[in-house]
Structure 1
């Protein structure tokens, strides 16, 4: 016959595998044998929240906390249940309690950041970013924290750049680029911020990175050409500008910028030929998608 520990281990494995019904049954059987088993109460409470029974889950977790008041993971999961019930002030209190017990609890910092961001007030982004940075200091490979921080920094950097807050935008975008070196949008916006800050040579590197990640990135090709020209490398600017024209021959900005670069190099004949070249016809409109037919549902 299995011991309580063996049964609990199996129940948790089923729970983590998403086999909630089997896990619930086994947790319940454990509690039939040992009604005050704190782990079974805790995990069954978490499961209840996952299946939409948050209030019942709180009841179970409160029983577990009465047995283990200094268990940081139970406080953190109580906070998660409260967040799911939109009881954010209570959730914040529980996250603080969990972190006071275990300050290096990276997942709790991450979950607290998610809850803080859910409030939607202007200060939330700064607070959320700080919590996520703390989580990553503790556990650099914590993917949910990294992904959320990248999204926040990219969004805030974009807004700051649009409102001409160039230095704060640079801070956000440089950090975002450190965290995600495969994101062409970050590389492109970083190039724009560097260019706006007068760091033209550095912007060339950023635009090249964006274009290497997405070779048909029209704006990156165009801005790379502009940045090269701004650093007195107009000859080198021709290649990305020609590439931009190839990406979208009908777009006026790449053609006009390329013609201007050619004229600055004394190649007026080529510029005139470019100006006089007919624009390609627009691509044919795609036919409207036929609405999908709906099958009648089987009655419950």
Structure 2
């Protein structure tokens, strides 16, 4: 979108750049970046006043965008009048300033478009004209900053300011360098120096306000912006003030600003979301309805406004239905509006009408998930075989492999509901085999049986401090429900071991059990390495470390060197766990290409859990997930009992897994895997059949 402008600027084709930029701004008048590049083209084309006006319009649209303020700094340099440049440079060098100014303006333009080599080259040419001019340091400092060396940039600009403390461009550069270093207060001070020394630089106050916000003073940040409102009544500025007032807890003042922002930009999602929060805090549902109705009267085709309006009616109520009918009337071909209509019809028990809407959606947007699910549900109620066939047709039509696999898995779930258990299992097994090459291999359980080192006394240094919790569950135990609850109510959960950049320690390495048993890795070194990574993962050592694997060989390290830890293990009937793993997968993407081998492996994991529990090998709590896996409040209650502390009960996600005992439907088709799992199921207290 911006490439034609940038390409023309690089080629020096100013006229082409201006034409492209003006066309883009005409098409997208609220695009701050388009205005930024229009400003650059205008400046390069010898229109400094227009350039300054364009960049100020851009800042009005995005007042907290630091890059726009940096661009404005470049415009100010390029906007200097020749006579002003003559006076300042004649005193310093006695040379013709026009050549110097031209080089410097071109260097600023090159810097603005990210061409650091060109900016550096032009700055060297400017230095030949006036080698001691302080503005050279401003360009040099910014080039150095853009190359990632903020400390050196700070030295360059600070030294120049010692010589020319009143030079505004140096203060601009200093402010951006301090920002890069996270020195918010120093950056604020530098930019205030620009405002004090430069008439008309008030737009910089929005950047100063953002720096104040970063220092944890949102109310002061909002106050900083108030003087701008008299000169710049832009909706974006009012939105920004509203956000700051919300952050400061000044909800009534926030609502006042956000009303103005919404009136000026009813299509702006950030404004809509912020004003929803203000109404929610103040409990002003009637005001929300009236204000949104007024906005919809002038902007009836705005999706976000309709969604916001729906938020202020009870779900499934007659009032909500009336809003949806108005939405569909205003946007009759808008699929989300039709989806809302489908939902309210279902809530009212008008099943046939909901299905009819779903079929209209599919006609407009073939394959739309919400509508296809509703159509399949309707078919299932009449004829399960037709529902299965419908999903199969969708899978056949899909061209993207991931989408096709998702539809095949859905078809398996429909088969499960229809009692076609053999077909369902066959589909899941086929999908598991296809995915196996892209999945992690199953780790080899060590079978460690002891003898175990003594559990060390809990160190005195741990007294009164949060203790570490190790969380784990075998595939299919739905341990992720425990992790979800802990993540919702505590900042201590760490799920980074399942992310692309996990901590590098022994708890992440499949080979750790074998190394501990052989003596290649000592228990002390194992825990020491974990503590090293802990420094970047927890401020006080209190952590819930969600482990991707478990082996009892870890007890060789934990018993003597981490006795203050608590191990929480999710458990479930191993046969239900195996079925869940096959159908739903697991948090760690483990390969399951051979069902019998996978079941034997899973049985070994549960045997280790039974060993820990029966012989009290380590401080641990088993959380039985069979009846609570889908109920976040029940999971929180189980954790409360396990930890001896009352935990907050978060809302459930609505996700559902197979009910306890569902494995029995698959007793014949999965007889081999279940035969391997039944002994350990009985050992854990589950019935044999």
- Tell me how far 1:70 sits from its aligned partner: 1.9
- The answer to whether residue 213 in structure 2 is matched with residue 117 in structure 1 is yes
Q: Which ranges in structure 2 are unaligned for 5 or more consecutive residues?
A: 1-95, 330-335, 359-369, 374-390, 392-402, 407-434, 439-689
Q: Residues 41, 90 of structure 1: CA spacing in aligned structure 2 closer, same or farther, 3 A cutoff?
A: same
State the partner residue of 2:219. Answer: 126
Larger Rg: 2
Within 5 Å, give how 1:251-290 maps onto structure 2.
251-252=343-344, 275-278=349-352, 279-280=354-355, 282=370, 283-284=372-373, 287=404
Within 5 Å, give how 1:1-300 maps onto structure 2.
3-31=99-127, 34-102=130-198, 104-119=200-215, 121=216, 124-135=217-228, 137-138=230-231, 147=236, 150=239, 153-154=242-243, 167-183=252-268, 186-187=271-272, 190=275, 193=279, 196=284, 198-199=286-287, 201-208=290-297, 211-214=300-303, 217-220=306-309, 223=312, 239-240=325-326, 246-252=338-344, 275-278=349-352, 279-280=354-355, 282=370, 283-284=372-373, 287=404
CA distance in 1, matches of 2:254, 2:102: 53
For 1:72-117, what per-residue CA distance to the aligned partner results, in whole angstroms no more than 9, with x for missing partners? 3422321221121112232232233333333642343122222222
Q: Normalization by structure 1: what TM-score? A: 0.63
* Number of corresponding residues: 257
Moved more, 15-24 or 182-191: 182-191
Q: Residues 175, 30 of structure 1: CA spacing in aligned structure 2 closer, same or farther, 3 A cutoff?
A: same
- Tell me how far 1:42 sits from its aligned partner: 1.6
Q: Residues 206, 139 of structure 1: CA spacing in aligned structure 2 closer, same or farther, 3 A cutoff?
A: closer
- Tell me how far 1:15 sits from its aligned partner: 2.4
Contact 2:258-2:271 at 8 Å conserved across structures: yes
Which structure has more RCO (C-alpha within 8 Å, separation ≥ 6)?
Answer: 2
State the partner residue of 2:641. Answer: none
Q: Which ranges in structure 1 are unaligned for 5 or more consecutive residues?
A: 257-273, 294-300
2:104 aligns to what SS in structure 1? helix
Q: Calculate the aligned-residue CA RMSD, in Å.
A: 4.5
For 1:175-223, what per-residue CA distance to the aligned partner results, in whole angstroms no more than 9, with x for missing partners? 3324533225645875893992644644521354564322894453575
CA distance in 2, matches of 1:52, 1:109: 26
CA distance in 1, matches of 2:293, 2:405: 41
Q: Normalization by structure 2: what TM-score? A: 0.31
Q: Residues 209, 18 of structure 1: CA spacing in aligned structure 2 closer, same or farther, 3 A cutoff?
A: same
CA distance in 2, matches of 1:106, 1:5: 25
User: More helix per residue: 1 or 2?
Assistant: 1
CA distance in 1, matches of 2:178, 2:158: 12
Q: Residues 209, 90 of structure 1: CA spacing in aligned structure 2 closer, same or farther, 3 A cutoff?
A: same
CA distance in 2, matches of 1:182, 1:245: 16
Q: Residues 189, 61 of structure 1: CA spacing in aligned structure 2 closer, same or farther, 3 A cutoff?
A: closer
Q: Residues 185, 225 of structure 1: CA spacing in aligned structure 2 closer, same or farther, 3 A cutoff?
A: farther
Q: Residues 113, 242 of structure 1: CA spacing in aligned structure 2 closer, same or farther, 3 A cutoff?
A: closer
Q: Residues 47, 180 of structure 1: CA spacing in aligned structure 2 closer, same or farther, 3 A cutoff?
A: farther
Q: Residues 155, 88 of structure 1: CA spacing in aligned structure 2 closer, same or farther, 3 A cutoff?
A: closer
